[in-house]
Amino acid sequence: MDKMENEDIRPSISIKELALLGDGEVAYIKQLDSDSAKRLFPTFDDSPEGIDLFAVLSADGTPLALTDSRNAAIANAIGNDLVPVSVH
Domain ranges of the chain: 24-87
What pLDDT score was predicted for residue 71? 96
Nearest Cα residue to 30 out of 1, 75, 60, 63: 63
- Residue of higher predicted confidence among 87 and 28: 28
Q: For the segment 24-64, what is each residue's pLDDT rounded down to a tens digit?
A: 678 999 999 888 888 888 888 776 777 889 999 988 888 99
Residue 20 CA, chain-centre distance (Å), reads 12
What pLDDT score was predicted for residue 35? 85
Q: Which residues contact 87 (CB under 8 A, 6 or more apart)?
A: 28, 29, 30, 57
Stretch (H or E) spanning 85: strand 83-87
* Summary mean pLDDT of the chain: 81
Count of beta carbons in the 10 Å neighbourhood of residue 56: 23
Instruction: Label residue 23 by pLDDT band (50, 70, 90).
Output: low
Count of beta carbons in the 10 Å neighbourhood of residue 37: 21
What pLDDT score was predicted for residue 4? 54
